[in-house]
Amino acid sequence: MRAVVQRVSSASVTIENEVTGKIDGGLVVLLGIEETDTAEDIEWLAGKIVNLRVFRDDTGAMNRSLLDEGGGILLISQFTLFASTKKGTKPSWHRAAKPPVAVPLYEAMIARLTTALGRPVATGRFGAMMQVALVNDGPVTLLLDTKDRE
């Protein structure tokens, strides 16, 4: 699994002119799932996301987590995070999980983040054409990969 995590002051996702998810502040998580991902990847990544200390404390240092801040999560499925651009200029999506594998893992991630956060997670819709609007705060943007746990 790969996730692009952005600290935001606000974010929303719109599908067919309807806002389906919105947060006032917290983290936007763009989530890519590949065929080899498992429940262990979900556990590691969800734990990392809610505990990342990327929010400022009283001294201005990034020492507070999403749990400390009480912020929200907007989770968006994004198969393009597994694009391969090795050959030519047309990306290949062969590493991205197909819906029969990806949908259950995406839904499991929603459930795990909801449990870890203690409140519902805002989401887009798997496979839908979405417009994601956000105000990146900082900016703070991190790339997490469960196969390369730096």
Q: What whole-number distance in Å separates Cα of residue 4 and Cα of residue 1? A: 10
Q: Which residue has the tokens 């996702």?
A: 13
**Rg of the chain in Å (alpha carbons):** 15
DSSP H helix total and E strand total for the chain = 3, 8
Active-site annotation holds for 79 = yes
Q: What whole-number distance in Å separates Cα of residue 88 and Cα of residue 56? A: 42
- Catalytic member of 6, 79, 82, 146: 79
- Catalytic member of 6, 55, 78, 82: 78
Q: What whole-number distance in Å separates Cα of residue 89 and Cα of residue 85? A: 6
- 70: DSSP letter: T
Active-site annotation holds for 78 = yes
- Catalytic member of 14, 36, 38, 80: 80
Q: Count of CB atoms within 10 A of residue 56's CB?
A: 16
Known catalytic residues?
Answer: 78-80
